[in-house]
């Protein structure tokens, strides 16, 4: 999104198509647009962009009356007040914006619930402050820190790995937040995207050192219309008991029908709005929840047995060992592959692919394929 004054355009914020819903406050000369922190008020005559209190990720600005400062907000998940906050439905909310002189300061790290791998009271630099202000990024930081600790324990040269990690941290800051204030970083969706990409790449690298890929044997391919094996374990819908247990954990995005009880683990999908879905797991009797995979509605293709989850990701199909907490990539699979059936007794997995089975790049002229293979499962 750009603004022009005296013929000189300047970039206000970089993001995605949600910026098409921005509205203009003529009385205060400021733009209102969506971000991962909720709606943002961005002054056009200088000054820092400010988050609008009471808004959240997924909110969309609608008609705005500049004279009275009443703003209509479309909320895709959760209600407009305490009575409806935990009801999973879409709402139209009405709120009055403050005058320019009354604009609230940005929330401090102490006022938000994000908890990365470090003490937010000692946060240094824009990137660390942003991690303390945004829960999804904090979750990625925690995941990376856990993999880094495991990699250090396994490394034959921990000194080299520590240097590599420090170099990565410096490059992360240079690529994503250099030259920005905290409020600019909070307002720009491109910063969030940059950090997610950098963390994702680093997590994949360390995961490969900690949890090696799973190899395939007896790989076969056929038309996508072929029948699935009769002895395969079909997907199972969630149970009411598991749904009630997950509700007690307070996840407002819980998708009905997806909660499963697998031994001592609860597993479910959480709708974060705007097509963002998280696969989550919780070991009963312990604090905290593990964000297993962040993606979109392709995660409804989740397969499982009592000890494993198989799900799609940008890197291909993944297998999570619930006992160890390690996620292994299944080799010869790639983005857009979707798991179909899983037989834990024979370790036979079937999945659909837009490519020839076993090929991880490009397409094919034969149409979608149904692939099957036996997994060489990792030892615990």
- 185 shares a domain with 136: yes
pLDDT of residue 100: 56
Distance between CA atoms of 340 and 366, rounded to whole angstroms? 19
Percent share of the chain, pLDDT over 90:
26
- 219 shares a domain with 258: yes
- 321 shares a domain with 301: yes
- 221 shares a domain with 160: no
pLDDT of residue 326: 84
Q: Of 175, 210, 245, which residue constitutes the final position of a domain? A: 210
Q: Of 210, 228, 256, which residue constitutes the final position of a domain? A: 210
CA dihedral over 71, 74, 75, 80, signed as positive or negative: positive
- 117 shares a domain with 87: no
Higher per-residue pLDDT: 70 or 229: 70
pLDDT of residue 59: 81
- 53 shares a domain with 74: yes
5-31 residue pLDDT tens:
555 565 666 556 666 677 777 666 777
Name the pLDDT band for 86 (thresholds 50, 70, 90): low
pLDDT of residue 318: 93
Name the pLDDT band for 112 (thresholds 50, 70, 90): very low
User: How many domains, the chain?
Assistant: 3
262-296 residue pLDDT tens:
999 999 999 877 677 889 999 988 887 888 888 88
- 115 shares a domain with 198: yes
Number of helices (H) and strands (E) in the chain: give both, helices first: 6, 21
- 181 shares a domain with 48: no
> What element of type H or E holds 206?
helix 189-210
Judge whether residue 302 has pLDDT over 50. Answer: yes
- 173 shares a domain with 137: yes
pLDDT of residue 257: 85
Higher per-residue pLDDT: 236 or 328: 328
With a CB cutoff of 8 Å and minimum separation 6, the contacts of 339 are: 301, 302, 303, 310, 311, 312, 317, 349, 350, 351
Distance between CA atoms of 131 and 117, rounded to whole angstroms? 9
Q: Of 102, 128, 162, which residue constitutes the final position of a domain? A: 102
- 361 shares a domain with 240: yes
When the pLDDT of each residue in the chain is averaged and rounded to a whole number, the result is 80
SS3 category, 196 = helix
- 236 shares a domain with 368: yes
User: Which of these, 200, 191, 182, 196, lies nearest to 124 by C-alpha position?
Assistant: 182
Domain that holds residue 164: 109-210
305-359 residue pLDDT tens:
989 999 998 889 999 999 888 889 999 999 889 999 999 999 999 999 988 898 8
DSSP 289-326: -EEEEEESGGGGG-EE-SSEEEEEETTEEEEEETTTTE
Distance between CA atoms of 14 and 282, rounded to whole angstroms? 35
Q: Which of 78-92, 100-114, 193-207, 285-299 has the lowest mean pLDDT?
A: 100-114
203-233 residue pLDDT tens:
888 887 888 889 999 999 887 665 455 444 4
Judge whether residue 111 has pLDDT over 50. Answer: no
155-189 residue pLDDT tens:
889 999 999 999 999 999 999 999 888 878 877 77
Judge whether residue 152 has pLDDT over 50. Answer: yes
pLDDT of residue 265: 93
- 244 shares a domain with 345: yes
Q: What is the pTM of this model?
A: 0.61
Judge whether residue 105 has pLDDT over 90. Answer: no
pLDDT of residue 127: 93
């Amino acid at each position: 999104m750009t603004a022009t004054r005296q013929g000189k355009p300047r970039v206000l914020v970089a993001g995605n198509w949600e910026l098409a819903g921005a509205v203009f406050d003529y009385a205060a000369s400021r733009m209102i647009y969506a971000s991962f922190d909720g709606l943002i008020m961005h002054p056009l005559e200088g000054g820092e962009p400010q988050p609008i209190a009471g808004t959240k990720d997924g909110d969309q600005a609608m008609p705005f009356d500049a004279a009275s400062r009443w703003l209509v907000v479309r909320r895709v998940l959760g209600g407009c007040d305490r009575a409806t906050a935990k009801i999973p439905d879409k709402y139209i909310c009405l709120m009055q914006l403050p005058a320019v002189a009354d604009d609230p300061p940005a929330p401090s790290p102490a006022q938000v619930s994000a908890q990365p791998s470090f003490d937010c009271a000692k946060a240094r630099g824009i990137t660390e402050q942003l991690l303390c202000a945004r829960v999804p990024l904090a979750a990625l930081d925690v995941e990376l820190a856990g993999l880094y600790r495991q990699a250090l324990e396994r490394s034959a040269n921990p000194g080299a790995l520590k240097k590599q990690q420090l170099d990565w941290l410096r490059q992360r800051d240079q690529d994503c937040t250099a030259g920005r204030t905290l409020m600019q970083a909070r307002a720009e969706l491109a910063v969030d995207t940059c950090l997610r990409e950098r963390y994702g790449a680093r997590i994949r690298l360390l995961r490969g050192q900690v949890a090696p890929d799973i190899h395939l044997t007896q790989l076969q391919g056929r038309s996508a219309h072929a029948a699935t094996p009769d002895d395969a374990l079909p997907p199972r819908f969630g149970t009411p008991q598991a749904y009630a247990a997950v509700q007690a954990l307070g996840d407002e995005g819980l998708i009905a029908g997806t909660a499963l009880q697998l031994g001592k683990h609860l597993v479910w999908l959480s709708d974060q709005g705007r097509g963002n879905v998280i696969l989550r797991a919780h070991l009963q009797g312990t604090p905290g929840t593990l964000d297993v995979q962040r993606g979109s509605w392709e995660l409804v293709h989740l397969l499982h047995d009592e000890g494993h989850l198989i799900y799609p990701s940008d890197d291909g199909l993944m297998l999570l060992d619930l006992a160890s907490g390690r996620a292994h990539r299944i080799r010869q699979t790639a983005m857009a592959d979707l798991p179909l059936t899983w037989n834990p007794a024979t370790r036979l997995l079937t999945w659909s692919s837009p490519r020839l089975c076993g090929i991880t790049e490009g397409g094919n002229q034969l149409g979608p394929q149904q692939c099957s293979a036996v997994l060489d499962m990792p030892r615990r």
